[in-house]
Amino acid sequence: MAQILLVAGAAVFGLLGLIHLIYTFRGNRFDPHDVELKESMQNSTLILTKQTTLWKAWIGFNASHSYGAIMVALFYVPLAIFHNELIQNSLWFSILPTLIGVSYLVLAKRYWFNVPFFGIFVATTCFIAAAVLYRI
C-alpha cells in the first residue's frame, strides 16, 4: 500500500508540474491582467543584473518551478516501482517526499490559489501515509 500511495502522490506532483510547464509556455494564463504591467516587466531589468528582464525571470522561475515538481515524479515513480525495498530500508528516501510536499504546500497556501493547494495537499497526504506505512 505504501508503494501505491507514493506512486500516486508522485504522479500528482508530476501532473501538476507538467500542467504548470505547459501553461508557462503556451497561452497567457500567467500573464497579468494589467497589460501595462506585463510591458513594464518586459522592459525592466533586475537590480541583481541587467542581463535579463523581470518578464524573462518570471518565465524562467515558473519553468524551473515546474521542473522541480516533474523531477519528484521522475525520481519517485520508478524508484517506488522498481526499487521499493530501497525506500523501505531508508528513512531518508521514505520521508523526503513528505518534506518536499509540505514545503510546496506551505508555498501553495501562502502564495498561490486553491487548485494547486488542493493537488499538493492530496499528494502530500499520500506521501505522509506512505512514509508512516514504510516505517511500521
Tens digit of each residue's pLDDT (9 = 90 or more) over 93-118: 999 999 999 999 999 999 999 999 99
What pTM value is reported for the model? Answer: 0.91
Closest CA to 14 of 78, 57, 61, 83: 78
Residue 96 pLDDT: 98
Average of per-residue pLDDT across 30-47: 96
- Asked whether 36 and 114 are in contact (CB, 8 A), the reply is no
| Other beta carbons less than 10 A from residue 80's beta carbon | 24
Write the burial class of residue 25 (CB in 10 Å: 0-12 exposed, 13-18 middle, 19+ buried).
exposed
The mean per-residue pLDDT over the stretch 21-39 comes to 96
Angle value at C-alpha 56, between 50 and 33, nearest 5 degrees: 120
Taking CA atoms, 89 is separated from 4, 29, 79, 93, 130, in Å, by: 17, 43, 13, 8, 13
What is the band of 88 on the pLDDT scale with cuts at 50, 70, 90? very high
pLDDT category of residue 11 using cuts at 50, 70 and 90: very high
The C-alpha atoms of residue 130 and residue 47 are separated, in whole angstroms, by 44
Distance from C-alpha of 132 to C-alpha of 135, rounded to nearest angstrom: 5
| Cα gap 98→117, rounded to integer Å | 15
**Number of other CB atoms surrounding residue 110 within 10 Å:** 8
Contacts of 39 (CB under 8 A, 6+ apart): none
Instruction: State phi, psi for 11 to the nearest 5 degrees.
Output: -65, -40
